[in-house]
Amino acid sequence: MRTTLSVIIPVYNEAPTIQSILTRLTKQTACKELIIVDDGSTDGSLRLIKQFLTRRGKQKKPIIKLFTKQNGGKGSAIRLGLEHVTGTHVLIQDADCEYDPEDIPALLKPIQRAKAEVVYGSRFAGPHTNLLFWHRVGNHLLNFLVNILYNTTLSDMETCYKLIPTSLLRQLQVQSDCFAIEPEITCKLLKRGVKIYEVPISYSGRDFSQGKKITWKDGITALKTIFLLRFS
């Protein structure tokens, strides 16, 4: 089956980077469809997105769709975007430039060679900038718990770069509105017995002064999600 890739881009107050990430995505020929969901931004992100689309004019590739909603969290934005996906596979792209679209071909390769059904990009297996210490500790703790509770050996279950067949992602019926959508997707895939294939990706982590939004409270929510899904 021919693989067509749709990329969902949830956006909340990413004015400094939104045009850059959209430019980089449009240069990836593998991306057939970009679905932008502005999650109630208040910093001018939506205006910058519209400016970008105006400059593109009548260019047909990739297809770009824009949706707006009241602020409800990353998970709620992804759910809205998923309703409008037409590609065979879905990838989530954060709008903050921490993840590099040039890694997308490497994610697609195992799918195209029929080696995997689901592919994750591992930040810790590839080149990366130094991460905030407590974020790294939190990532390792959550990852360790998933590996124990679901009997697997993932290195980065929290990664944003999850490449999943559209039909499968819809079947998961994800419910999380916030960042807990990441462990929710992973845990639901593992409960289904899906084997997750990991490839190294580059990662340029930012700090709170640069607009990073995830906090320790999101870690607590993720922890609850992991346990609830395992024993529900």
Dihedral sign for Cα 85, 9, 4, 143, please.
negative
Q: Where are the domains of the chain?
A: 5-231
Q: Which residue type, as a one-letter code, is found at position 202? A: S
For the entire predicted model, the pTM comes to 0.87
Tens digits of residue pLDDT in 165-219: 999 999 999 998 877 888 899 999 999 999 999 999 988 764 444 444 566 576 6
Provide the token pair at 21: 């990430």
Taking a C-beta distance cutoff of 8 angstroms, is the pair 10, 74 a contact? Answer: yes
Check: CATH 3.90.550.10 for 5-231?
A: yes
State the Cα–Cα distance between residues 92 and 124, nearest whole angstrom: 18
Lookup result for tokens 């559209």: 166
| Peptide bond preceding 62 in cis form (omega within 30 of 0) | yes
Tens digits of residue pLDDT in 56-67: 877 878 999 999
pLDDT in tens, the chain (232 residues): 688 999 999 999 999 999 999 999 999 999 999 999 999 999 999 999 999 999 987 787 899 999 999 999 999 999 999 999 999 999 999 998 888 999 999 999 999 999 999 999 998 765 555 565 546 666 778 888 888 999 888 988 888 899 999 999 999 999 988 778 888 999 999 999 999 999 999 887 644 444 445 665 766 877 788 878 888 7
